[in-house]
Chain A
Amino acid sequence: MSALLQVEDLRVEFPRGGRAAAAVDGVSFELAAGECLAIVGESGSGKSITCQALMRLVPEPGRIASGRVLFEGEDLLQRSESELRRVRGGEIAMVFQDPSSTLNPVFTVGHQLIDVIRTHWRCSRGKARERAQEVLAQVGFPDPAARMKAYPGELSGGLKQRISIALALACKPRVVICDEATTNLDVSIQAQIVELLRRLKDELGFSIVFITHDIGLTPHIADRILVLYAGHAVEEGPVRQVLDSPGHPYTVGLLHAAPSLSSERGVALPTIPGTVPPLGELPPGAPFVSRCPVAVAGECDTAEPGWTAAGPGHRVACHRFAHDGTKGTTWVR
């Protein structure tokens, strides 16, 4: 099966102190039709920038320095702005963290939905209205006709996020990018939204890129996971396999630092020493080397590691892993 979306060697730069510093450096990944890929990382990992780059929406003064974003085999980065506008919200849609800033408070839900649909489909108002009601029903509103008349301000955070999802799905996109789409919601509402996305993905067959800082969410929604650190991809693979036998020392640290419902109480949590180096101050060699407890002296601080296979579809960018496997990189307990 060929990939629906294929990102190759993406590099996004921001000017820092007169030089260009890479916020995203050499990130590649693929997304198959009907698949959900979770992109996980802490602040500064470049996960949001990566997704903004997919739609060529990198905020000023950043710029996409190199790479290709192939959507159904065509490079989106080479398309004209007007062609790209058709893709954005049409073929590829986004759901953001804060629905209050995505939704326009002065227009009704119906108005905004119809607006989006007519922008992309150039259909009659009546047809657009029909589609709007259909998609509202899909995201779980039992009374779509009544909801059309609601203003965003009248809805709770969870309902607003459902509306944002409806807006994203309105034009039947092939790919939906969710950028921390459940982060600000209460847990019970977050669970509802995750369930909704899971169900809609299976029913409608779109693909999801699910960006999150909460690694705990990944097994509940994603098929595969991509771990980013300081703009570099460090590990990629099927979710369960990465979580159960992580290969990169950073993934190992991340998994153990986050308490789970079965972690042992009363003992200190393992922590990753230090902090993410600021943009543009990444040391040479492996991106994680300055904080890595198992770095190989003379190797990790000079050469950037390549990928090492860790299992079917599972790969790790780490010198230590290349030598010793998970035995070498499981530094926690």
Chain B
Amino acid sequence: MGAMSAEAVPAGLVPPASGIAAEQIAKRFAGRGRRGEGGVHAVNDVSLSVAAGEIVGLVGESGCGKSTLSRILIGIETPSSGRVLLDGAPVEGRAGWRALRRRVQYVFQDPYGSLCPTMTIGETLADALAVNDLGGSKAGRRERAGEILSQVGLSPADLDRHPSQFSGGQRQRIGLARALILEPEVVVCDEIVSGLDVSVQAQILNLLRELRQRLGIGLLFISHDLRVVRYLCDRVVVMYLGRIVEEGDVEQVFGDPQHPYTRGLLASVPDHAPGAPELRARVAGEPASLGELPSGCPFAPRCPLAADRCRAEDPALVAAGAQAGAGGHRARCHFAGAPR
């Protein structure tokens, strides 16, 4: 960790008073060897926070560690090092993780596989309450389930229907309802619009904005679609091979990207708007495998800017951008801020 200078310690990371924060989280999966050789660092020194009422976008391509990170945040995976903070206090012990699970909920990508086919919507929703001894009587739980369905734009009359009777978009609303019924502070949305048609996607995005406003919940919105992230989120975190390579206010990161990977991603976005530049493959090749990370900057082998220094020295995540770190804009690149 020689490259970790003092400024790399996330100064901007004051854990939010309400919401969830990850503090220097690392996750290493042991390999198949007898002493765990061949293991991978799926997540490396990632700090991230989602405050109540905030929508944070988590962007990255497959293998970047965003799923592992989200699994840690919802408490179904434990970090190898680092802490998870809930409302500013570290999550510890079995009871702590159990409490976390209730306060941080999750919505799945696949609207078809994430609902039990043999249970009615009402049963699925009521069971979430029953498991946690909430909602009082059976009738009370049913009533609450009906309320939550109205919140996501369905009707209490849908309680007795089975998942197979709903379309993909409607199922995604039900998935949201199941997450919301436990009144969490933060909901992790894992690619929840990527399987939906555009017109349905727009409905769900509008619903998310509305829920944030009405319920004041925080959202961690994981997506590969930068157009959607830019539209919906307040802040964005870009990950590459287990690390954060750039983060900050959406306007700043999208308007003045500092990391060549972010710039490459933006150039790859298929945009239909008038005057949008032609799609260009600025990021060449494919990511290295997590098991055999190159020394120095992990992005160097694909980077159009890579110099000798990049292959030798791993850059730290430092304040960057025109406003030099205002809005928490930071990038992990030796050339961040340099003219290009």
Contact = CB atoms under 8 A, between A and B. Distances in A.
Q: Do A and B bind each other?
A: yes
Interface of A: 42-43, 156-159, 186-192, 194-195, 213-221, 243-244, 253-255, 257-263, 265, 268-272, 275
A154 to B, nearest CB: 12
B61 A220 contact: no
A291 B206 CA distance: 19
Given A187-B226, A259-B231, A268-B209, A216 B270 contact: yes
Residue of A187, A213, A263, A270 ringed by the most chain B CB atoms within 10 A: A187
A200 B268 CA distance: 19
Contact of B272 (A192, A213, A219, A270): A219
Given A188-B265, A191-B279, A260-B227, A216 B271 contact: yes
7 contacts: A158-B286, A213-B198, A258-B201, A260-B227, A261-B226, A263-B273, A275-B169
B197 interface: yes
Interface of B: 61-62, 167, 169, 197-203, 205-206, 209, 224-228, 230-232, 250-251, 254, 264-276, 278-284, 286
B198 A261 contact: no
Contacts of A217: 270, 279
A194 B279 contact: yes
B273 A257 contact: no
Contacts of B251: 265
B199 A253 contact: yes
Residue of B61, B169, B265 ringed by the most chain A CB atoms within 10 A: B61
Contacts of B227: 216, 258-261, 263
B205 A269 contact: yes
Residue of A188, A194, A195, A270 ringed by the most chain B CB atoms within 10 A: A188
A254 B273 contact: no
Q: Which 5 A-B pairs have the closest CB atoms?
A: A191-B268, A259-B231, A186-B61, A220-B279, A257-B202
Nearest to B59: A187
Given A158-B286, A188-B268, A261-B226, 20 more contacts: A42-B197, A159-B286, A187-B61, A187-B268, A189-B61, A189-B286, A190-B270, A191-B282, A191-B283, A192-B284, A194-B281, A215-B272, A216-B227, A220-B270, A221-B279, A259-B205, A260-B272, A262-B273, A263-B227, A271-B202
Contacts of B271: 216, 260-262
A147 to B, nearest CB: 14
A108 B200 CA distance: 41
Given A188-B61, A192-B281, A220-B279, A261 B254 contact: yes
Given A190-B268, A243-B272, A262-B276, A257 B224 contact: no
Contacts of A220: 270, 278-279
Residue of B169, B225, B272, B284 ringed by the most chain A CB atoms within 10 A: B272
B200 to A, nearest CB: 8
A254 B198 contact: yes
Contacts of A215: 198, 272
Nearest to B266: A261
B317 to A, nearest CB: 21
Contacts of A244: 274
B243 to A, nearest CB: 17
B281 A188 contact: yes
B198 A257 contact: yes
Contacts of A195: 279-281
Given A156-B286, A187-B226, A217-B270, A257 B201 contact: yes
Contact of A255 (B267, B270, B272, B278): B272
Nearest to B199: A272
Contacts of B264: 188
Contacts of A43: 197
A194 B225 CA distance: 16
A270 B264 CA distance: 29
Contacts of A253: 199
Contacts of A214: 198, 270
A200 to B, nearest CB: 14
Contacts of B62: 157, 186
Given A187-B268, A188-B265, A260 B273 contact: yes
Nearest to B267: A191
Contacts of B276: 219, 260-262
A218 to B, nearest CB: 7
B192 to A, nearest CB: 15
Residue of A159, A214, A265 ringed by the most chain B CB atoms within 10 A: A265
A195 B264 CA distance: 14
Contacts of B209: 268
A43 B196 CA distance: 9
Contacts of A157: 62
A187 B266 CA distance: 9
Contacts of B201: 257-258
Contacts of B202: 257-259, 269-272
B262 to A, nearest CB: 11
B236 to A, nearest CB: 12
A18 to B, nearest CB: 22
A43 B199 CA distance: 11
B204 to A, nearest CB: 10
B265 A187 contact: yes
Residue of B197, B205, B224 ringed by the most chain A CB atoms within 10 A: B197
